[in-house]
A and B are shown apart, each in its own frame.
Chain A
Amino acid sequence: MVRYQSAGLLLAGALSLLATTALAQQQATPAQPPAAAALPPGSPLIGRPDNNPAAAKLAPVPSPPLATAADKLPLDKLKAPKGFEIEVYASGMPNARSMVLDDKGTVFVGSRLQDKVYAITNKNGKREVKVLVSGLYRPNGVAFKNGTLYIAELSQISKIDNVEDKLDSSPKPTVIYNDLPKDEAHGWKYLAIGPDNKLYFEVGQPGNNVLHDSAHGQLRRINLDGSGAEVIAFGIRNTVGFDWNPKNKELYFTDNGRDWLSEDLPNDELNRITKIGQDFGAPYCYQGDIPDPDFGWGHSCSEFVPPVALMGPHAAALGMKFYTGTMFPAEYRGQILVARHGSWNKTKKFGGDIALVKLNKDGTVKSVEPFITGFLQPDNNYVARPVDVMNMPDGSILVSDDWNGAVYRVSYGSKKTAER
């Protein structure tokens, strides 16, 4: 117990009412976090408790480096409600992440761990996968407007005008905005164009749980030419998916809760912005009711906007879209579909599905339920991991899978073949 004794005295020094006494001053060394074995800044393993065998087993789950061959995709393991069909829309795109559709039917797919943006062309139902651009750095975010493809990399946003004419010519993107930090942790971006014709993207927290500066932990928007940057929302840990309610144009976004707080807490969040400048709590308050163990002291969750729904602990709720089609049954129309990539910071994994979030008329959430499942198998292993969802004009949806490098199409009724 000698170790306890001296550490206890050190702590006593740090905390003492008597900080003015010589003894206390002499020993007033601030409590140090457990010695971390030279983890790089922003490492997801920062904060992992020492000497805990179960915690030592937990780390981000790397996906296979190569795309899965089309005939090896785990289609038969994915489960949808009765009447829905799942098919392969395209494959062979390692680390397929965010998706956007242009006005000629081409789907662009970003990547996070690769350097590429892919294009899936569709001519009369015949689909072809091309590498549109390579040599990019974490090109996770893609958006499209009036012939132009916008790409969000780790620390810059660029564009390719008239992209449809350049599908085979390896176009070089033109940078429109680069006033961004370069942190690896939560540095990749989701990108979407709002009803105001501005580009929206997040700048996540540069770590699992950090007291971030004024350039991080936020959602920003810029004009399509890169000008007029402004912060739309604060207190965001890392959103990798947002969309606007087609009824009232309010922005909803997913936000991933912090790690290493507990197996079952906090939940990922689904948030709703009702006013520019709202603060959603990170790193002071998570899931609307948990003041953070590190930074929550002296704060109250009532200072922040609570989520409209809890999406599950460590679920990694990423891409989301309001379902705007009519192919699916009425109960899906106008509701939110969320890709839950699945947990790593949890012994028994959670997520690995497309969730259906049903809304009330007033925009509040009625329920959250799994819609398409099977990405996470009962043996606690992933066979696929959904990243983004996207509406297709015929009312089907596409789902990207960065584990297998594939995009699936989910349809309802007898429309078995993808159409344009």
Chain B
Amino acid sequence: MSIARVRMGLVVAVALGLIYGVAPAAAQLPNTPGATPPPPTPNMPTSEAATKLKGIAAPPFAAAPDKLPLAQLKLPKGFKIEVYANGIPDARSLRIGDKGTLFVGNRVQDKVYAVVDRNGKREVKVIASGLDRPNGLAFKDGTLYIAEGTKISKLEKIEDNLDNPPKPVVIYSDFPNHQAHGWKFMALGPDNKLYVNVGAPCNICIPPDANSQIRRLNLDGTGAEPYIRGNRNSVGFDWNPTTKELYFTDNGRDWMSEELPNDELNRVTKMGQNFGYPYCHQGNILDPQYGWGRSCSDFVPPVALLGPHAAALGMRFYTGSMFPAKYHDAIFIARHGSWNKTNKIGGDIYVVYLNKDGTVKSQESFMTGFIRDNNYIGRPVDVQPMKDGSLLVSDDYEGAVYRITYGNGKVASQ
């Protein structure tokens, strides 16, 4: 990162005042009107090393294409990476439309983007702006669904109207309004319902009943109900293509320890399951504040531990065939990377291999290199398989989307 960009970041930080310096869990959040600010962090240690740790604000502008860290990213043999799209500040969740349009959401910016591919020539358009943390995206039958901080809206026939997009129509707005973990991940389930994360409004607290759940609702906004509970903040989930079971990442609490607890990969085998927050973390650690008198055996343990503070976010089952057989039906996970840890971890695309019965066989890093000398040069947020079997990766630090291919599939095609 150039000095110029660091300086620019500082200027913006100063200009925005406290907004960028609130509690660490929410360090990058815009000041959403009416949103409950993050509560104080209990037991935040006063040790000097701890006070150096805080949320890492991304540069406010997207990096120029020739500054993207492509050369530093490392992939297994036979894989290639290229820039799919750039100039998308705060590029977060990814979805593909029926006609091949890539949609990209925001978390600290206010826009939803469309990336249109015409014979390999790609164009980036803003299709909605002025939104409140539009992090979650889902697509069904020509309609793009957008999950903001406190509502879900839709853009019908969006792929036919990319140059003249309609105004989003709100279909659901019964969400609590809070800054910490207020942005949403959203996905369309095999039951044609929208699934959306409602995170805990804090690092660690007894969440209100409306929080700490993955909620589902019909495409028209009706029938909302909690699907599972006891998640802290899931920013990625997908369904096992074989069993149709939901798997979701969940980010572990902060300020407990440099090495604990781990982020979780969870598997839902039954609606209504509780995954432990705020009482039990990673399936075997009772919380120092709220765990007393509880037992981890009262909750569903994770199927995999994804690293302490790793910020395991977007995940998808890989259903393509371009990648070698070992990756088929494996889970790709974007680990955004830690802030609450002196030596950063994560900052990679991670892969979790499953057994036939849906349990976890093994896990490893797939693409690394986003952390360099304990600093980020990019931060992956979401992954999205393409129809040709290539894999897209969003990077909110550089404002770009990359495409990973295997073998000769050099040109993106739809």
Q: Which residues of A contact B (CB under 8 A)?
A: 1, 4-5, 7-18, 21, 23-24, 30-31, 33-34, 49, 52-55, 57-58, 260-265, 289-301, 347
Contact = CB atoms under 8 A, between A and B. Distances in A.
B411 interface: no
B91 to A, nearest CB: 23
Interface residues of B, number: 50
Interface in B33-74: 36-54, 57
Contacts of B47: 294-298
B170 to A, nearest CB: 24
A18 B13 contact: yes
Contact of A52 (B22, B38, B289): B289
Interface stretch (B110-118, B251-259, B382-390): B251-259
Contacts of A52: 289-290, 292-293
A104 B263 CA distance: 60
B176 to A, nearest CB: 11
Given A55-B292, A292-B257, A11 B36 contact: no
Q: Give the dominant DSSP class at B's interface.
A: loop
17 contacts: A1-B36, A4-B39, A9-B18, A11-B22, A11-B23, A11-B40, A12-B21, A13-B18, A15-B51, A18-B13, A260-B288, A263-B294, A293-B45, A294-B46, A297-B258, A299-B49, A347-B293
B258 A291 contact: yes
B286 A300 contact: no
B285 interface: yes
B21 A298 contact: no
A261 B259 CA distance: 14
B13 A263 contact: no
Contacts of B342: 297-298
A21 B46 contact: no
A8 B288 contact: no
Contacts of B14: 18, 21
B183 to A, nearest CB: 18
B246 interface: no
Closest 5 CB pairs of A and B: A54-B293, A298-B49, A16-B21, A297-B50, A55-B292
A40 to B, nearest CB: 21
A321 B21 CA distance: 55
A15 B24 contact: yes
Contacts of A300: 258, 343
Contact of B48 (A15, A49, A54, A298): A298
A347 B45 CA distance: 25
B14 to A, nearest CB: 6
B292 A24 contact: no
A207 to B, nearest CB: 15
A296 B53 CA distance: 13
A346 to B, nearest CB: 9
B334 to A, nearest CB: 25
Given A8-B38, A297-B47, A263 B292 contact: yes
| Most chain B CB within a 10 A radius of its CB, from A10, A11, A297 | A297
A289 B36 CA distance: 36
Contacts of B44: 11, 31
A158 B237 CA distance: 66
A113 to B, nearest CB: 26
A263 B53 CA distance: 27
Given A8-B37, A10-B40, A12-B23, A262 B291 contact: yes
Contact of B21 (A24, A49, A295, A299): A24
A297 to B, nearest CB: 4
Given A263-B286, A300-B343, A12 B260 contact: no
A320 to B, nearest CB: 27
Contacts of A1: 36
B359 interface: no
Contact of B37 (A4, A16, A24, A296): A4
B288 A49 contact: yes
Nearest to B52: A298
A262 B257 contact: no
A212 to B, nearest CB: 14
